[in-house]
Structure 1
Amino acid sequence: MGTGNGKGLDVGGDGPRFHVLGPLEVRLRDRVLDLGGTRIRTLLALLTADAGRVTSVGTLVEALWGADAPRDAHRTVRTYVSRLRHSLAPADELITTHPAGYVLRVGPDAVDAARFEALVASGRDAADPATAAERFALALAVWRGDAYAEFADIPRLRAEAARLTGLRLGAVEDRVEAELATGAGRTLVEELTELTDRHPGHDRLWGQLMTALYRAGRQADALYAFAKARAVLAERFGLDPSPRLVEVHRRVLANDDRLTAPPAPTAVPVRAERSCPARNDLPGDIADFAGRKGELARLLDSGHGTVPTAMVIEALDGMAGVGKTTLAVHAAHRLAEHYPDGQLFLDLHGHTPSQVPVTPMAALDLLLRALGVPGERIPADQDARAALWRAELAGRSVLVLLDNAADAAQVRPLLPGTARSLTLITSRRRLVDLETARILSLDVLPEADAVALFTGVVGDERADAEPDAVREVVERCGHLPLAIRIAAARLRSRQAWTVRYLADRLVEAGSPLTELSAGDRSVAAAFALSYQRLETAQRRLFRLLGVHPGPDIDVPAAAALAAVDRAEAGRLLEGLVDDHLVQQPVTGRYRLHDLVRRHAHTVALAEEPEAERERALRRVVDFYLHTAYAGSRLLDQQHPAIDLGEPAAGCVPDSPPDDAAAMAWFDTNHRCVLAARAVVEEIGWDTAVWQLAWTLDNFHYRRGHLHDNIASWRAGLAAAERLGNVAVQARAHRRLGLVYAPLGRQHEALLHLRRSLALSERIGDTLGQAGVHFILALAWTHEEDDQRALTHATSARNLYREVGDTRWEVRALSMMGSCHTRLGHHGEARGYCESALVLGLEQGDVYGQADSLDNLGAIAARTGDRVQALRHYGEALDHWSHLDNTYRQAATLTAIGDAHTDPDLARAAWRRSAALYRERNLDEAAARVESRLTRPAVTTAMTNPARGWSTRS
């Protein structure tokens, strides 16, 4: 909650005081102000929740009216603010106007929620437990009821209320902890019994209850409390007791003196305490630890390898649930013997439900006391405390595990000053600004380790009986250790379930997070904590990434998605990478782990207004559409132009500078553009559906993505039919006929081509008719009916000449030469192909030149001139390579192999050809080429690589 930046009005003393921890009230000199009706009260509550920060007018409108906002809602908000200022008079200057909205400017003591948080922080910074307990009690006394209770139907205020309620429970736990540290026990039993009933998922409360019962002389009841906690955690949440709770249980069983009331502080000198046994605060090790061999080896080597000459600090980071603490604790137990003066563990609560992060002051107090420094020797100044901490460690060999750090600033004062000690740090945030640390970033587990972890939790017998189901479960869990542990724990506690049943539940749930969400230690809760720590702009981009349709994203697309400039988009994405909510698999590309993506989508649905989600989707779809269109025009400038209109506001498309850059962009973003096409098809943006099919067409041709092209044009055809756009229908049929022919689906190809011809004739599209005849020539070529193919190729050539399309006249001439070649009319064939080559050279048409050279190669091969054939094929291959046309490269390589008399050279060409076909998923074509590898080289080359398909017809 914001409390201003120090520049607001000081409302201490006689100023108004805002009460939200109970019924909303504003008091001025012990008088409760009349705030007005429900909407004005809601407006004030929103301003108070954002005190010191701008509350946008849009946020106020959404909260006050939702989808039913009147047209003049913004004007009405101004009226409400004016009335509210009047109610707050004479302090009406508290509410100031900002270009984006309004700001409630108050001092740090004006809002009860801020006073509560300040008192909690002071309790955690207290020098001794008694003072801490007193301050926590004062903080809790601020509450008069439930926070923002009357505004439960306002999502923003509901979320703020949940945050404050969580902090309240954390303060209760901290107060109990402080009272236990002063020696309390019996007096806390009743309160803790009620708290564990109300909050059964908080194992800290269970540990406190067990300690209080033990101190009250009720050891058996303490053991029963542990049994109850274990049963509740398993049945309700699918979890095991935490290592810390297990440790309390062990101490109860052992009548450990550490559970008794601590003795009063004495004046024993710190150095005298060196003779005491070394302290070990490490949580219990994980019995079913699995994987992480490389990471563990690095940690063990850094802890007891060569004699260190500088501080050894290992910072482990990674996304929520990736197993940072598990690895750090496991390594610490293995390293403990090398640090005989103690092993200290401190949870810094950087990402803990219902807890604010431990301040460096409070952390230093705890660490110094753990070393045996009496409270009266601990300075009140943070720098002095840090200096004393370093001095105490100077002559000791101690392992310090700082778990769950919020950021580098939190841990920097806690670092030792010498090389004798080892510091292990875990954090969800990448601590790149912790200069002295070695960074170890953890990823999810490989499949074998994920399976081993699952098996270790559920037991070998059940896992080994259904290995396929086990692999499916860990895959559904995204190989994330926390998700795997929760799924396995649920299975272990339900003997009637099989692994297959669990796997099916994860599938049927739609989102595995539904099944893996169980209380505040669930996967979704872990992600939510990381999300809540983000700055406002990062949270917005994270939500919008849940709207983005593709598997990954780059900075320009993210800028369009969020309607920000590219520098800001890059900054936000890198920040999300540092917080391990976004991954960066390669430079410049960003993606979300599958479970994180589902969480982002869920958060977007909950927090992002539907209208803004739609605008974000429109911007990113327009980014892909307009960028793909610009690239497609570079791939074939003869491609017919279409009018895309202007991109959505906030969208700045890319403009590839040349053909090669366009192909590179398509290669990188192809799946994103396909995903965008699928999304717009699903939501009914029909114009965008066929436009995306149109813009993908040239790239699909160049790369031989026949099946993707079929899917795109089938969707485009359906969209054009819904829109009644006959011209697009004709093109869709034409392109489908073109793609079906080389796949051997001749009947479907001819149906589409005849329909395209009829539609083109109906609207008088001569160029479209020419294109259909050209593709019909190709189709009949695949059927080896060269006479029919020649008839259609001739019709195409005549129509192209009629409309003055010289480039496509080149292609038609080349096709006519190809048909004459196969009919045995070699003289006519050579004449047509040479004419096509001359025209292609005149026009600078590289594609037409390559096509003509391919056909001249086929003529030379059929007439027995293999040397000339290889020369023509080689020149054609160079052109296809220059065009990055892998489909035609494969066909020409097949022809080169057929023309070679050297078996080794022939097989090398065929292997290259088959590989290119395989890369395009054209397995039948690859198989036909590979069949040549098992027989002697042919004696007469019969291949005609021109049996290809066109880019634009």
Structure 2
Amino acid sequence: MDDPDSRPEFRVLGPFEVRVRDRTLELGGPRIRTLLALLVANADRVTAVSTMADALWDVDATPGTERTVRTYMSRVRRSLAPVAAVLGAADLIETRAAGYALRLSPAFLDAREFERLVPAGRTALAAGDPVTASDRLSQALALWRGDAYEDFAGTPALLAETRRLHGLRLGAVEDRVDADLATGAGEALIAELTALSEQHPGHERLWGQLMTALYRAGRQADALDAFTRARAVLVDQFGLDPSPRLTEIHRRVLDNDSRLFPATGPVRLPARPRTDAAEHAPAGAVRNDLPGDIADFAGRETELARLLAARAGIAHTAPTAVVIEAIDGMAGIGKTTLAIHAAHRLAEHYPGGRLFLDLHGHTSGQAPITPPAALDTLLRALGVPADRIPHDQDARAALWRAELAGRSTLVVLDNAADAAQVRPLLPGSAGTLVLITSRRRLVDLEPAHILSLDVLPEADAIALFTGIVADGRLTAEPESVRDVVELCGRLPLAIRIAAARLRSRPAWTVGHLADRLRQAHRPLAELSAGDRSVAAAFALSYRQLDAPRQRMFRLLGLNPGPDIDVPAAAALAAVAPGEAERLLESLVDDHLLEQPVTGRFRFHDLVRQHAQSTALAEEPEPGRRAALRRLVGFHLHTAHRGSRLLDQQHPPIDVGEPPAGCTPAPLRDDAAAMTWFDVNHQCVLAARQAAEDAGWDTCVWQLAWTLDNFHYRRGHLQANITSWLAGLAAAERLHDLAVQARAHRRLGLVYGPFGKPAEALHHLHRSLTLSREIGDTLGQAGVHFVLALHWTHEKDDEQALEHATSALEQYRALGDPKWEARALSLIGACQSRLGRHEEARAHAEAGLAFCRERKDVYGEADALDSLAAIAHETGHHGDALGQSRQALTLWRLLDNTYRQAGTLASMGDAHRALGHHDQARAAWQQAIDLYRARNLHPAADEIEKRSANLGSAAPPWPPGARSAG
């Protein structure tokens, strides 16, 4: 290949991707991706059809499954067509007797490139060139973007390859650490080696490397402790004694052996003085325990102003009272940073002392400080001798309050677990300001004023990132800077870590950092530096929950929608709604969940990723699948009831019984149904996608059906097309001709007003063929009805009338008066445009009478639209306007914004004909706004032309634009 930039890339060391010319290919659904992954893992070797069938369905290959596999393989070939085109090959996949083989050059596969670079690094290390070795091995490891084949964790056929690659990766990491140690590294490796030894406790080599790094960092005691932990793990978990090599490193640590340093000699570290937090301040000195101020503090102007105003109780209470400000927020939101910064700004006003105490409410590996222990520390900080401090908690609290009396003191209680931990530490007299930080909202700390922190505004987030990095790369890439802070969720801790990583890597661009964060499943892995990690902060918050809240948290990570309400969460977790609400509200108090509006809950983006990974790690696969099935069932059954309320004449489907533990939301009437759909639309769409990904084909087409009425009323045509295309594919997989006919019919209806008449006609003809094949007369009538609408839109009224008449005849034969009435109205509209006005009026009036008699409000509005069109055609513009107004009232009663737009357009036409140009433009503008809001731009453009020149034009979509079935 002449152009190396066009070389295709097959990436399996992380999320599965195929890239060509810097573009990631859309490979298709999960089954297509699984087949391609199998072929890549066995590149240039045959993958048996039986292996493919097992991976897709967990069944033995049968003649039926083999045919299906071969069908899928044609889609795999289509997905690889851009790769084949770049390589100048007709096909990359060879069909063999036993299966298929993918012809793939090793240079195109990141796993093979990794395997090429690792031996080069090991060769350099063996040759005594650790710098080159570290470089080669780092290059190899940089190819990893996550776990190998991480999209296919549940595919047994890929398990052996995945384990092989992970083994190679760990070996490469150990070799790279050896290379780094040989160059003199030590302290910089500690965090990485600590994590690795915890993940792979049976690897003695890692323990030895960790001990060496700790010793080089001047942490001899920690190195010895690491050996103790390693020995305990090896004996308890593996029944092994430490190897002679590990024992030798231990001996050298004990002996301060210089051989633990590289040949250039040991690194001499300065001695660190010991400090005691309880040591008394010198006589007459003002106690100041505040940590150093934050040099790169950014934003929080409003919150900081409130804390500064609290100095004299200005913000909330009388100047003579104790002022207590409790700052809460999610992990990494910047609570401690704000409290310390505010404390430094306030320090000069508190000559009695500035005390700081970390209560360890959320500290990894350390239990929260008990109130008696906290009081002991605080009293000693005030200079109280140990022999004066009582043992009883209440007596200590009383002495604490007495010692503070008359002093002007600032107390920062950081990292509180809950109100019970803090309450005994509160002062009782004026002149004291207490700043408390906690991940939990301390609503039960009665005297406190609550200050809840949200993520940073964009400008402040950018300022924080810029202040930390502080170099010219940011000026050149302002959009990438915005991308990075948004990918960090504007969470201060995440921004600080991302900025620190960029600052420490001069070769990186901001865009490269953004790309790394943008990769699927990557942000939390990337947001780690040294001993700081966003994921670790979230994990700690999760571990401190009780079991029911932990379960709800991780199950919420399975929710595919943007948010969730109480009934849906109850179904997800199979608990009563009251219990679900309690758990959700508690997670809000713990800042693991947000409540943007009453009754709806969502995750911060990074917390969502942590919840997802926690669910995968801790919730068994059957439990995850059952929870998702309950959630999909909840949306299906609730949406089905809602759709039936919106149009009880819509041909029903049988959705069976809800899954066990799932109770659909109660919907009283069509107004409640529209409200539910408006609020939950994106959630139902996400449930349909989740059903598709899970292979629940029946749910896929049923969800498309349940959304159809709502999509039509709101004019969500693109969403309806997407849903029915998925429903059609599901019906084809199920070999259900009746559902296929229905899907084609619905697609034929929505493609027309979407400006794609050829696609509409294709689907309608296919639907008619299938309906005839299975003897579905009602379906045939529905297709003729929609074809009449189609040809009206195409301004072929003769064909429109022919199909409308066919629909009427079949509805009459079926004895369906509702659709007979609607067909009469449609015939009237067609006849009017053909100049047969009297026949048209007679048909439309008959349709109106039918609908009024049967209280069919939809049909009544439809008939009034037809009569208005006839009146307009015959020059009776006042009558047309009156009938359109009646129709508009009914469309608004039905909350059908799509049909409101069409009626408003017709009203504008009538006003124009009457010379009411201002009223015409006003009606047209309302129609334009409704169409634009639903991305129906062709219809809106056509009306705008009328408004611009007041020229004549036909309505953008005729009356009767609602199909049967």
TM-score by length of 2: 0.71
- In the alignment, which residue of structure 2 is the partner of 1:931? 945
Q: Displacement of 1:945 after TM fit? A: 5.4
- In the alignment, which residue of structure 2 is the partner of 1:145? none
- Give deviations 1:20-44, integer Å, cap 9, x for gaps: xxxxxxxxxxxxxxxxxxxxxxxxx
Specify the code of the residue in structure 1 equivalent to 2:302. Answer: G
2:954 pairs with 1:946: no
- In the alignment, which residue of structure 1 is the partner of 2:285? 277
- In the alignment, which residue of structure 1 is the partner of 2:232? none
Q: Rate the CA distance shift 1:415–1:920 in 2: closer, same or farther, 3 A.
A: same
Tell me if the contact between 1:833 and 1:852 (Cα under 8 Å) persists in the aligned partners.
yes
- In the alignment, which residue of structure 2 is the partner of 1:906? 920
Equivalent residue in structure 1 for 2:381, among 366, 370, 388: 370
- 2:752 aligns to what SS in structure 1? helix
- 1:557 aligns to what SS in structure 2? helix
5 Å matches for 1:496-895? 496-508=507-519, 510-518=521-529, 520-895=531-906
5 Å matches for 1:258-407? 276-304=284-312, 306=314, 308-407=319-418
Q: Displacement of 1:806 after TM fit? A: 1.1
Q: Displacement of 1:500 after TM fit? A: 0.9
Q: CA RMSD in A?
A: 2.6
Distance 2:473 2:956 in 1: 59
Specify the code of the residue in structure 2 equivalent to 1:743. Answer: F
Identity across matched positions, percent: 66
Extract structure 1 runs of 4+ deviating beyond 4 A: 192-199, 258-265
Greater CA deviation, 445-454 or 926-935?
926-935
Q: Displacement of 1:710 after TM fit? A: 0.5
- In the alignment, which residue of structure 1 is the partner of 2:221? 191
Distance 1:395 1:928 in 2: 78
Specify the code of the residue in structure 2 equivalent to 1:423. Answer: V
Q: Displacement of 1:295 after TM fit? A: 1.1
Specify the code of the residue in structure 2 equivalent to 1:459. Answer: A
Specify the code of the residue in structure 2 equivalent to 1:847. Answer: Y
Specify the code of the residue in structure 1 equivalent to 2:931. Answer: Y
Distance 1:529 1:942 in 2: 64
- Give deviations 1:312-348, integer Å, cap 9, x for gaps: 1111111111111111111111111121211111111
5 Å matches for 1:19-168? none
- Give deviations 1:370-426, integer Å, cap 9, x for gaps: 111111111111101111111111101111111110000000011111231111111
Distance 2:525 2:378 in 1: 39
Distance 1:514 1:915 in 2: 44
Specify the code of the residue in structure 2 equivalent to 1:278. Answer: V
Distance 1:309 1:868 in 2: 76
Distance 1:197 1:606 in 2: 29
Q: Displacement of 1:275 after TM fit? A: 6.9
- 1:313 aligns to what SS in structure 2? strand
Tell me if the contact between 2:793 and 2:956 (Cα under 8 Å) persists in the aligned partners.
no
- 2:411 aligns to what SS in structure 1? strand
- Give deviations 1:667-701, integer Å, cap 9, x for gaps: 11111110010011112111111111111111111
Tell me if the contact between 1:895 and 1:945 (Cα under 8 Å) persists in the aligned partners.
no
Tell me if the contact between 2:862 and 2:960 (Cα under 8 Å) persists in the aligned partners.
no
Distance 1:471 1:619 in 2: 38
Distance 1:490 1:346 in 2: 30
Distance 2:924 2:471 in 1: 49
Q: Rate the CA distance shift 1:189–1:808 in 2: closer, same or farther, 3 A.
A: closer
Distance 1:263 1:765 in 2: 86
Equivalent residue in structure 2 for 1:458, among 456, 469, 474: 469
- 1:280 aligns to what SS in structure 2? coil
Tell me if the contact between 1:636 and 1:951 (Cα under 8 Å) persists in the aligned partners.
no
Greater CA deviation, 467-476 or 860-869?
860-869
TM-score by length of 1: 0.72
Greater CA deviation, 457-466 or 779-788?
457-466
Q: Rate the CA distance shift 1:447–1:261 in 2: closer, same or farther, 3 A.
A: closer
Tell me if the contact between 2:862 and 2:959 (Cα under 8 Å) persists in the aligned partners.
no
Q: Displacement of 1:511 after TM fit? A: 3.0
- 1:652 aligns to what SS in structure 2? coil
Q: Rate the CA distance shift 1:764–1:902 in 2: closer, same or farther, 3 A.
A: same
Distance 2:956 2:613 in 1: 54
- 1:289 aligns to what SS in structure 2? coil
Q: Rate the CA distance shift 1:695–1:952 in 2: closer, same or farther, 3 A.
A: farther
Tell me if the contact between 1:777 and 1:790 (Cα under 8 Å) persists in the aligned partners.
yes
Q: Displacement of 1:950 after TM fit? A: 1.3
Q: Rate the CA distance shift 1:819–1:944 in 2: closer, same or farther, 3 A.
A: farther
Distance 1:260 1:605 in 2: 43
- 1:647 aligns to what SS in structure 2? coil
Distance 2:683 2:276 in 1: 62
Q: Displacement of 1:310 after TM fit? A: 2.4
Between the two proteins, the alignment pairs up a number of residues equal to: 713
- 1:343 aligns to what SS in structure 2? strand
Greater CA deviation, 591-600 or 853-862?
853-862
Tell me if the contact between 1:858 and 1:943 (Cα under 8 Å) persists in the aligned partners.
no
Tell me if the contact between 2:825 and 2:960 (Cα under 8 Å) persists in the aligned partners.
no
- 1:646 aligns to what SS in structure 2? coil
Q: Displacement of 1:588 after TM fit? A: 0.3
2:933 pairs with 1:919: yes
- In the alignment, which residue of structure 2 is the partner of 1:140? none
User: Which ranges of structure 1 fall in alignment gaps of 5 or more residues?
Assistant: 1-66, 68-150, 159-164, 174-187, 200-226, 230-248, 253-257, 266-272
Distance 1:546 1:261 in 2: 43
Distance 1:339 1:810 in 2: 84
Tell me if the contact between 1:826 and 1:859 (Cα under 8 Å) persists in the aligned partners.
yes
Greater CA deviation, 339-348 or 728-737?
339-348
Tell me if the contact between 2:497 and 2:532 (Cα under 8 Å) persists in the aligned partners.
no
Q: Rate the CA distance shift 1:828–1:627 in 2: closer, same or farther, 3 A.
A: same
User: Which ranges of structure 2 fall in alignment gaps of 5 or more residues?
Assistant: 1-57, 59-197, 202-206, 230-266
Distance 2:522 2:946 in 1: 48
- 1:874 aligns to what SS in structure 2? helix
Specify the code of the residue in structure 2 equivalent to 1:469. Answer: S
Tell me if the contact between 1:742 and 1:948 (Cα under 8 Å) persists in the aligned partners.
no
Distance 2:743 2:337 in 1: 56
Q: Displacement of 1:460 after TM fit? A: 4.7
Distance 1:262 1:894 in 2: 77
Q: Displacement of 1:850 after TM fit? A: 0.4
Q: Rate the CA distance shift 1:446–1:932 in 2: closer, same or farther, 3 A.
A: farther
Distance 2:533 2:623 in 1: 29
Equivalent residue in structure 2 for 1:438, among 449, 452, 475: 449
